Structure 1
Amino acid sequence: MDYRSLSYWHDSVADPLDPRPPLPGDIATDVAIVGGGLTGLWTAYYLLERDPSLRITVLEKHIAGFGASGRNGGWCSALFPASTATLGRAHGPEAALAMRRAMVATVDEVGRVAAAEGIDCDFVKGGTLSLARSPLQLAAAHAEVAEALSYGVDDLSLLSTAVGGALGASFDPACARLHPAALVRGLARVLERRGVTIHEHTEVLDWSPRTVQTARGTVAAETVVLATEGYGATLPKSRRGILPLYSLMIATEPLSDAVWDDIGIEHGQTFTDFRHLLVYGQRTADNRFAFGGRGARYHWGSSIRPEYDRVGRVFEHLRASLVELFPQAAGAAVTHRWGGPLGVARDWHASASYDPETGIASAGGYVGDGLSTTNLAGRTLADLLTGADSDLTTLPWVNHVSPRWEPEPLRFVGANLGLTAMAVADAEERTTGRPSLAARLMAPLVGH
């Protein structure tokens, strides 16, 4: 496989992307980590901080950073897939606020580690602009800030801005722009220098307490960490535990500083708006738009295939949406198109879990908010596995159990109906100028 072709991030990362040696056969280790993305690598990083004597082995089907960890939008944010209000209703306001504060601190922790370890990933903390481009969206921005304040979240604010033709915006300072493939590949190199073994081109077939079966041998381990995110849907034991939902992206050619000055997006800033069918973007370090969004359908049986990464209809929608937001991008060539699956739990509630009786730990269900949440997962799992009594182990996502997804055809119908409903909601609001009934009906199903 040509790993450079996976995304703009893989194409531009200063790393040869050469696969590491696969598992040579049956081995024994202290901790076996299934998945070479950020969840697994951060867990290994913090486990070694707590106990440098641990033997840790990472097992990856392709290469480290092959999946969502290397292909995402590059938002290292304080967003958590379940909203603060949802967490407050389920766990109480204090727990919801603790989760928000932990996520805010996580953004700075990623930047701290990148700087300390010499990982050049273009980390710049510039915050997120959520643009309100209609009176209805402006009301949504006001409501978002008011709801946050009601839970004690006082760092969101309202701005008067004309960026993207907006009437205003909400601003969350707790977000950094970065190059995700540079982060995940750099972290893998740091771990290797510290003695972690990473076996790539090693497909995991199954796991059980203290054992992982791969296509190249069996790994015996006291602890097994499952860090597969959306790809967990391809394994029998977790097939209905996670739903792989595709998100696609485009990147433009670099634009001049003068054009960016006219656009009004600064280095380090990320942006979105208040539509229901999510879009997200950043100004890259080399002055491109990296812009993505939902719209690709869910595939029967939670299947994941390379051809699903590229859907012409969705790429056209993204290009049109980008130009609608920023007409200055109309003449910019699109140089890269890519996508991939992210992981969605049935209740849109991420979790970090550990069962000391079986020795099995897991984290995931980030719904696209994983670039930062994976770091919190790594620190949390490291505390759980080493028996540390910390503030992290009391957060409301610890040992949270989400319901399983319905069997087919209900899963197929429900997932794709949800995507359609979000597109309908946007059209409804543009037409009526009133909050969408479709969005209101779907809100409980998407973590709001």
Structure 2
Amino acid sequence: MPFDLDKLCGDDLFGIQCLPYGIFQPSDGSAPRIGARLGDHVLDLFGMFGDAYLSASALNPLMEQGRGTWNELRGRIIESLERPRLRDLVVRNARPLNDVHLGMPFEVADYVDFFASEHHAVNVARLFRPGTPPLHANWKSLPVGYHGRAGTVYPSGVPVKRPWGQSASGDGQAIYGPSRKLDFELEVGFVVGRGSPIGQPVTVDDFDDYVFGASLVCDWTARDLQAWETFPLGPFTGKSFLTSISHWVVPLAALDGARLPLPPQDPVPASYLGGEVPAWGLDLALEVAINGHAIARPNFRDMYWSPAQMLAHMTVNGARTRVGDLFASGTVSGPREDELGCLMEISKNGTHPVTLGNGNTRSFLEDGDETVLTGHALLPNGLRVGLGEVRSTVA
């Protein structure tokens, strides 16, 4: 046996409890196809099972099969790992990660970004709008969001080219040039695997039937461009230049054990944001590092709005979902100084630079900086489910 399968199955982050999906291309130049990560290997699922949709170069054909197939496939993978008589099948179709090329996991149909952390919303408001109420009147009645650009969602590893655009000069006039305040936003994204008819909202209780899985997301933001253009219609060129996602989509079933009650919501949300199942969040421990130095460790459990509420609000007006829709949480920030999910908050809009472990300081990202977002779900039995990473360098 070329590797220890038992050890791989018990991997701390990417063992049998995780099995995230992605797209890989073997080093022999054969066509990209769907794989499942196991430790430091990827399993060739088409080679193992032969289903036509597993030979696709994106997860969309798998997602189109529906929740029954999602659960069945995960069950077949787990059975192959647990039953000795099937282990030869696994060994023949396991490829070392350092011997494959990882690609974009799915074709993005639409992209929506939310603003679901109360801690982040309050912190940013105090920086952008000092002396005014930190939350707009609508913030606690609905999950605020905006439509981004599906065409600029790229996988981990694609460099971040510093965007150019308009920002404010010292005398309040517009100037054109490269952003001087390039920032990351640490987020969690959810991938929709089922389409809905136009005019038919998706309820919070339908979440499990529609969402295929979760992925780490970095919402790159040019804060100076954003500040100049945000009012009256919200984010545009300050965010649309690039959004980065992990190579891996963690199936929703792998995150079941990480669900926990949502923090109290006051006032009580509108009826369509409630459901028979109490609102739930996810216990996801996240981290962001710049040039190898960790600067923040927020947790997704501190979010005000739940993933199911985001999806319900996204479709409440009858907007349809499509296979491959991506919606992200917005910056994940917690109540403590070491739990802030972007440099805008950490550096107080550049007035308090953060010191990295090597003594260098950063107010915002500089050319050549490498930002790495990582995370994992915490399960009650002590196991962890890895979310992969989003790694990008400022070009």
Between Structure 1 and Structure 2, the one with more helix by share is 1
Between Structure 1 and Structure 2, the one with more strand by share is 2
